[in-house]
Structure formats: C-alpha cells, structure tokens
Amino acid sequence: MKITSNIYIVGGPSESHPSDAAIYLFVSGNEAALIDAGTGAGHDQVMENLARTLTNPEQVKYLFMTHCHYDHTGGAAALRAETGCTIVTHKLSAFYLERGDPEVTAASWYRAELSPLDIDNVVESTPCDFPLGDHSLTFYHTPGHSPGSSVLTVRSDGKLVLFGQDVHGPLNRTLLSSREDYVRSLEFMISLDADILCEGHFGVFSGREKVRQYIESYL
C-alpha cells in the first residue's frame, strides 16, 4: 500500500502476518528506512513486499524500532541479516531487547521466545536526526505505552508524516507503562501538527484535523 510517493506499508496483519504490527518503508533516492519489524512470522512476505519497491534489499539503511514490544521487534534480526541495515532504538527499549526480556517486550503474550538482540545504534537523547538520501528523519522519545516508546517524523510530498506507532496504548503494568508519561507524550504528538499519522495497529490518518482528533481521543 502506497501512502505518499515514497512511503509504503510493507508489513502488518493484512500485508504479512496477522501477528505483525504495521511495518512502514520510507525511500529517499537509493536509500530506505523501515519503521518496525513485525514478529518475524511474516518475514518472507515482508521481503517480497520490499522487492516490489526496492531494486536491492541492501538499500535499507536503517531499521527504526519504535519500542521493544514483540509485534514490532520480533522480526528485526532476520531483516538485518538480509538487508545489512542498522537497527536503531531508544536506550530504554534496547535495555529489554538486548536481554530478551519476555515480559516487558510482551513476547510472552504471543507465547514466543525473543532471543537477545544486539542494537547497533542506541539513542540516548532526543530529538535526534538521521539523514537518509535527500531527507532526514527525526526521532523523538515519547514514553508511556512503554518506557522507550518513540516516534519519528519526516517530510514527504511537502507534508509532515508522523510514524506514531501504538498511539492507542494500551497501558499495562507488566509492560511498565506510565499513564503520566503517556499523557505528556500524546500532548507532544498533537503539538507536532502532523499532516499524516502512520499508526501501528489502526492504519493511516490523513489531514491535520483527523490526526489531531485521533490522538486527542486517547486523552
């Protein structure tokens, strides 16, 4: 599914496997970035979807993981093995991924085992910019749903696109969610005034008013 001239959905419940959260692809020139990795159960289909858009999987320079939960990270190791990408996530997500923590990553919810995952680029402070082709993605720490929850923004076709995975939460004690942090993060996302929101489970919202209303609904 094409969202803008250079943003695509290449994974998710309909695109790769029912257990996968949305996987987004951003392309700029000869370089590309993935946002999240799914569980890995739909890996072959994700690679097929990438092949329809990219001439070479090694164009994928970055794999940004918005938080540590299994439905967003379980497929990361396999994607790195095939593309050679750099895995990027916030330090509070890296902490649990590098330990293969089954509870905080929610792997236990999927009756899955998450092997410890080495993170190539651990983000310690935000905002943090990542040049890609002729563009730059900005990484923000937005805790609440999880300690390391983060979002990214990029300009595409003159519009500000927000990769705001799991805006909807949920909040759960086992996942170390924080209601106070979550509210602050929602308010911050509203302040970005994005034109397009790419969410992790509930699709794509276009138009500033629709984006704002969707995020505000969780306040």
pLDDT in tens, 176-218: 999 999 999 999 999 999 999 999 999 999 999 999 999 999 9
Burial state string for 34-58 with b = 16 or more CB within 10 A and e = fewer than 16: bbbbbbbbbbebbbebbeeebeeee
pLDDT in tens, 89-116: 999 999 999 999 999 999 999 999 899 9
How far is it, in rounded angstroms, from Cα 69 to Cα 78?
A: 16
Report the run of H or E that residue 2 belongs to, with start and end. strand 2-4
How far is it, in rounded angstroms, from Cα 25 to Cα 38?
A: 13
Of 167, 219, 177, 158, nearest to 197 (Cα)? 167
Q: How many domains does the chain have?
A: 1
Backbone angles phi, psi at 125, to 5 degrees: -140, 145
Q: What are 102's two structure tokens?
A: 């089954």
Query: Which distant-in-sequence residues (6+ apart) come within 8 Å of 31 by Cβ?
Result: 59, 61, 132, 133
Task: Identify the residue whose tokens are 């992790």.
Answer: 200
Strands 159-163 and 150-156: antiparallel
Domain that holds residue 182: 2-216
pLDDT in tens, 52-91: 999 999 999 999 999 999 999 999 999 999 999 999 999 9
Residue 111's domain is classified under what CATH number? Answer: 3.60.15.10
